[in-house]
Amino acid sequence: MIGTVKKVVGERGFGFITAEDGQEYFFHRSGVDSSLSFEQLAAGERVSFDVERSDKGPRAAHVRAA
């Protein structure tokens, strides 16, 4: 999927991505690909990602530059 970083909460290690279909996905720093630095992610950046199931619902994984 392709989306835009909506918000990054750096001190807590997570953020949210709004996908092109309007869905919002949670992501954790552990789900950010090694080619992309979590610390440098900012709101408004375009990213691609996979969706995986979690106990709290779908979340973004393998987040990488679009």
The per-residue pLDDT for range 22-57, each reduced to its tens digit, is: 999 999 999 999 989 999 999 999 999 999 999 999
Per the CB < 8 A criterion, the answer to whether 26 and 35 are in contact is no
Residue type, 62: H
Count the domains in the chain. Answer: 1
Q: Which pLDDT does position 21 carry in this prediction?
A: 92
Q: What is the CATH number of the domain that holds 12?
A: 2.40.50.140
Q: Which pLDDT does position 19 carry in this prediction?
A: 97
As a whole number of angstroms, the distance between CA 53 and CA 19 comes to 16
Q: Which pLDDT does position 31 carry in this prediction?
A: 95
Among 60, 6, 57, CA closest to 33: 60
Which residues form the domain of 38?
Answer: 2-65
| Helices and strands (DSSP H and E) totals, the chain | 0, 5
pLDDT in tens, 2-24: 999 999 999 999 999 999 999 99
Q: Which pLDDT does position 33 carry in this prediction?
A: 94
